[in-house]
Amino acid sequence: MGASIIGIGSYLPEKVLSNADLEKMVDTSDEWIVTRTGIRERRICPEDMASSDLGVEAAKRAITDAAISSNEIDMIVCATITADMVFPSTACIIQNKLGLNDIPCFDISAACSGFIYGLEIARSFIVAGKCEKILVVAAECMSRVTDYTDRATCVLLGDGAAAAIIAKTDDNVGIIDSYLGASGLYGNLLYVPAGGSKMPATHETVEKRLHYMKMEGSSLFRIAVNAMAESVKKILERNNLTADRISLIIPHQANIRIIQGVAKLTDIPMEKVFVNIEKYGNMSAASVGVALDEAVKSGKIHKGDLICMVSFGAGLTWAANLIIWSKDG
Ligand code: UT7
């Protein structure tokens, strides 16, 4: 028994924050942002919406794409580091907004690797015979943890959501393998200091802007390239596959130079690498999901293709999976 993606959807808020807008907010330039990151614009969630709202819209599109009734879903996994609240889980909020009840729902915090972690969790429950159809949502409002006075981070991030319906399949297709990794040793390279049990919110934490993301960009850059390239190599090797068998690689969209570095180290030509970073920036867990949806909808993925998704994020975490695409169209 296997598990495959039978429906995929994404949702991007309408409001665009361009490099020209950021030039008015911090000491930066379109030229610096484009050459150092590849990003031209990103989407920003409206004030009256939260991650669950973006996730619900993506989920509705995935349910329609799968041509199932939402009542057939027997678990919801939500990958997010920008949960609506500390608790309850954003997955429970999404369940309620979809009008569902009495199915297990939980969040996972694996940052940018969250969608791939979520797909593997769904696959495992399905292969174990515990579930038949699982909704995996990756929903992020990164703008809510972004310091728009810090030019080193604010140019990178955007908001969005993606969702997939994973279902039981009998054939040897779908998600054929996943490689998940993490190292807490490097947790201090990318984190939000305050707002958790270690440093609860106080006037001082707010004044010191400690509820915003802190990042050591250049150290992360080096680790990201190596961790993603190694993840691709390892998952190919243990499946006795070579890089030339991959039809399309969908990497996390953090920086075009990271993506190019991964392509080079894995011997995968850039024509086989899906890139949409220029439109959305880094949407954490949502990035690879949105990219997969766009790749499918733009005709870049066909039934039978071998797809590799790979990501890297706070934790640090990294993850890759191999998918034999089994859906028509
Ligand atoms: O989702 C996973 C988590 N995040 C990542 O994977 C991010 C990984 N890191 C990166 O993408 C890159 O390190 C950045 C894009 C964050 C930075 O690029 P970089 O080429 O590593 O630049 P840098 O940090 O070495 O900074 C070079 C210069 C510095 O100025 P000085 O010290 O050389 O005078 C920075 O102050 O660029 C300056 N700088 C900027 N200048 C204009 C940093 N940010 C900006 C900016 N606009 N927005």
Domain containing residue 214: CATH number: 3.40.47.10
pLDDT at 172: 82
Question: Hey, what amino acid is at 144?
Answer: R
Q: Quote the tokens at residue 165.
A: 């319906």
CB 45 within 8 A of CB 54: yes
Instruction: List the beta bridge partners of residue 232.
Output: none
pLDDT at 329: 63
Same domain, 67 and 124: yes
Give me the active site residues, please: 112, 252, 282
Gap from CA of 36 to ligand 1 centroid (Å): 7
User: Domain for residue 329, yes or no?
Assistant: no
User: Domain for residue 279, yes or no?
Assistant: yes
Ligand 1 pocket test target in 149, 221, 280 with most atoms within 8 Å of CB: 221
Rg (CA), the chain: 19
Instruction: Give the residue numbers spanning the domain of 6.
Output: 2-172
Spatial separation of the C-alpha atoms in residues 183 and 318, rounded to whole Å: 9
Burial classification of residue 29, based on how many CB atoms lie within 10 Å of its CB (0-12 exposed, 13-18 middle, 19 or more buried): middle
Q: Whose CA is nearest to atom 11 of ligand 1?
A: 255
Gap from CA of 203 to ligand 1 centroid (Å): 30
CB 191 within 8 A of CB 213: yes
Spatial separation of the C-alpha atoms in residues 168 and 198, rounded to whole Å: 41
User: Domain for residue 256, yes or no?
Assistant: yes
Same domain, 115 and 218: no
Residue 282 Cα: closest atom of ligand 1: 1
Q: pLDDT for 279-307, tens place per residue?
A: 999 999 999 999 999 999 999 999 999 99
What DSSP designation does 4 have? E
User: Domain for residue 117, yes or no?
Assistant: yes
Same domain, 168 and 250: no
Handedness of CA 217, 222, 224, 225 (dihedral sign): positive
pLDDT at 1: 83
Same domain, 110 and 160: yes
Gap from CA of 288 to ligand 1 centroid (Å): 22
User: Domain for residue 126, yes or no?
Assistant: yes
Q: Quote the tokens at residue 252.
A: 């996390």
Question: What's the angle, vertex CA 121, arms to CA 111 and CA 293, rounded to 5?
Answer: 65
Spatial separation of the C-alpha atoms in residues 29 and 25, rounded to whole Å: 10
Same domain, 150 and 207: no
Boundary residue ending a domain (172, 206, 227): 172
- Ligand 1 neighbours by CB, cut-off 6 Å: 28, 32-33, 36-37, 112, 151-152, 155, 190, 217-218, 220-221, 224, 254-255, 282, 312-313
DSSP strand pairing (317-324 vs 2-11): unpaired
CB neighbours of residue 223 within 10 Å: 16
Q: Quote the tokens at residue 275.
A: 């890139």
CB 35 within 8 A of CB 56: no
Q: pLDDT for 237-284, tens place per residue?
A: 999 999 999 999 999 999 999 999 999 999 999 999 999 999 999 999
User: Domain for residue 158, yes or no?
Assistant: yes
Same domain, 145 and 191: no
Spatial separation of the C-alpha atoms in residues 210 and 123, rounded to whole Å: 37
Using the structure block, give the residue that is written with the tokens 């075009």.
Answer: 256
Query: Considering its fold, how many domains does the chain have in total?
Result: 2
Same domain, 285 and 308: yes
Handedness of CA 194, 195, 200, 204 (dihedral sign): positive
Boundary residue ending a domain (117, 140, 172): 172
Same domain, 129 and 219: no
Which residue positions in the chain have pLDDT lower than 70?
A: 329
Spatial separation of the C-alpha atoms in residues 38 and 278, rounded to whole Å: 6
Q: Whose CA is nearest to atom 8 of ligand 1?
A: 221
Boundary residue ending a domain (172, 197, 230): 172
Spatial separation of the C-alpha atoms in residues 74 and 64, rounded to whole Å: 16
Spatial separation of the C-alpha atoms in residues 323 and 252, rounded to whole Å: 16
Question: Hey, what amino acid is at 250?
Answer: I
Same domain, 104 and 182: no
User: Domain for residue 118, yes or no?
Assistant: yes
Same domain, 184 and 145: no
Gap from CA of 152 to ligand 1 centroid (Å): 5
CA 269 and chain centroid, separation: 23
Spatial separation of the C-alpha atoms in residues 119 and 167, rounded to whole Å: 11
Question: Hey, what amino acid is at 214?
Answer: K
DSSP strand pairing (306-313 vs 248-251): parallel
At 194 the three-state DSSP class reads coil
Same domain, 251 and 269: yes
Same domain, 166 and 199: no
